[in-house]
A and B are shown apart, each in its own frame.
Chain A
Amino acid sequence: MTRDDVIERLRLFICHKIVKQPNLSLRDDEPLITGGIMDSMALAYLGVFIEKEFGVQIPDNDLTTEAMDTLGQMADRVLRGVGG
């Protein structure tokens, strides 16, 4: 699983299930929470998705705006979990 694969799966989930705007284009380094695209409530939901989709459990304390604001940050966090 490459970083790009992870980003693509996260992107699809966020566009379809969170923002509910499938045509939304999101850059990998774009701030999603501080940019007003999704909120911390959605981040908790994303945590559940990541656990099911990638088998990576992200501790609640890591589900923060600082640590998970961009697709890139999210993907890196997922890949760290897969490796560890």
Chain B
Amino acid sequence: MKSSSLDLTGKARGNGLRRTESKSTLFAAIDAAVARDATRAAVVWIGEDGSRASIQAGELHRSAMGRAHALRRHGIASGELVLLALPYSPDLLSIFLGAIYGAAIPAILPYVTDQAAVAAQVERVRRLAAAAEARAVICPGFLAAPLGDALRSVCEVIDTSMLAGVAETWSVPASVGQESAALIQFTSGTTGGQKGVRVSHAAVLSFLQGLALDLEVTQRDVIVSWLPLYHDLGVITGLLFPLFQGISTVLMSPAHWVRAPVVMLRAMHDFKGTLTWMPNFAFSHMARTVRDADLEGLDLSAWRHCANGAEPVREDSIAAFSARLEPCGMRSEAIRAGYGMAENVLTATLSRGRPRVDRISAADLQTRRIANPLPPSAAGAVAFVSNGSGFAGAEVAIADEQGRRLPEREVGEILVRSPHLFEGYHLRPDLTAAAMRDGWFRSGDLGYLAGGELYICGRKKDLIIVRGANISPEDVEAIADRTPGIQAGRAVAFGVADAETGTERIVVVAELREPLPEGGAGAVERALRKAVLEGLGTPVSAVRFVERGWITKTSSGKLPRAASRERYLQHFGETIGN
């Protein structure tokens, strides 16, 4: 395979590593990195048609400063929230950066390209803009009219063409300092449960510095990423980290990668990519869809950091991935498993090299909440992948309901403390107070420590994680309740781990209002599937209609998700995968 003609290094090569220079805002840090070498390729953009365009650091910086000035001209003030409803494009990069330079507080929203889903997308944006008291929504031209109508009484809608222009300089407003919010990361959801995680400039910079130190980054490092920028993993590792560090990032759209994951591997080969971050499902997706012929001639030996995070890490996904790519020189030790959350900017723990696997007694875990090791061949074992130990200055601890620390191998809630915790949930001090205890962030995830390493084994909340995106079962159930034919309050949603896709599938079990004639349930099911896709952006996997009384509410009137899940697996699970 021929190597790329794009030269990533600029004429004035930076002389190595930057370490712990403290810059107060992201603008100052990025400005300093650009000043060291403005001509290097900051971003290589791989288009859907396979085209490759290089954006120099100085060029991107000037464009971002131009956006910052344009936002200011629009009367937007530095502390105001702007929602970016933009497709994956160089415009998104510069507008996001312009805002983060101190012109506003940006939040990037999931963007659906499907034209048919415009109405659903407009409705999602409207709800969020209203709930989050956004100052403006920035969108592409074709969305400006429908969004403008929907948001008339909510906030301003700005078409990207109104934010054109470049600038040579920018001065951060005096009101913006290191403790100011740099960006807001919204969790997914629709029923008012969406939380906006506010992180400060100081927090983001602290994390980026910790990341650089851990990875021992050099000027030879190249990041390759297809992650969506509305996901914290994508925007931090694919954009902010390389700009902060003065290294190149090769970007391609998530939709492009999903269709042709080999595009990422070719980029790793062509640009001698070294650093990547991906959710677990991506390891499975690549292992099972990349063709043998496409791997011929690829040299992946430069790949030295391949982090797996954002959803539970599976041993089989990692094994399948490395078995496919090792013949191309990919080193299995490069694979690291991590755990983190937007409230900690990103990673809280990360394994050193390929993660250990702990085999423990399923019975002891279930009944005594203890992780009791079993020999490899023993029956009744369940395996968990290590997520390593505290990363970039973060510490983790395990606590019981009262907040008392638990010893190793006892299961409890995972707590995180670090120099870069979030400042709070946007407009929700009540949720912030509930999430913090004595300076520690309560993750809501369940896990245990063994040998100083963290193992995740569940969640306190009934959250479903599909390909790194958190889906609240309440949101799915609310959609089911509104679906004609389904008995309101008699639909339960839960996640089922899926070995083939390496992520969770959404399953809905619902009782019907009345027995339907042949083919009738099909229509109800179709309506439900379409509504979930439009409302949440993710399809339901299995839908099962059950007789009245199948779903038994608890005495407190709660839906029994865990019990329904067990029952579903017993009743219907046998047929899975046959």
Contacts and interface: CB of A to CB of B under 8 A. Distances in A.
Interface stretch (B137-145, B237-245, B530-538): B530-538
B18 interface: no
Interface stretch (B223-231, B328-336, B540-548): B540-548
A44 B289 contact: yes
Contacts of B498: 20
Contact of B259 (A17, A21, A61): A61
A1 interface: no
Nearest to A41: B258
10 contacts: A20-B542, A21-B541, A25-B522, A34-B117, A35-B533, A40-B259, A45-B289, A48-B291, A61-B260, A64-B259
B259 A60 contact: yes
Contacts, number: 76
B505 A20 contact: yes
Given A16-B577, A48-B288, A34 B116 contact: yes
Given A20-B576, A43-B259, A63-B259, A37 B289 contact: no
Given A37-B539, A44-B258, A48-B289, 8 more contacts: A16-B577, A20-B498, A20-B577, A21-B543, A22-B575, A41-B467, A63-B259, A64-B259
A35 B462 CA distance: 26
A21 B542 contact: yes
B529 A36 contact: yes
Contacts of B131: none
A28 interface: no
B556 interface: no
Interface string B259-295: 1111100000000000000000100010011010000
A19 interface: yes
B513 interface: no
Interface of A: 16-17, 19-22, 25, 30, 34-41, 43-45, 47-48, 51, 60-61, 63-65
B114 A34 contact: yes
B578 interface: yes
A35 B529 contact: yes
A30 B255 CA distance: 22
Among A20, A40, A44, the most chain B Cβ lie within 10 Å of the Cβ of A20
Contacts of B322: none
Given A37-B529, A45-B289, A19 B261 contact: no
Contacts of B209: none
Contacts of B467: 41
Contacts of B540: 36
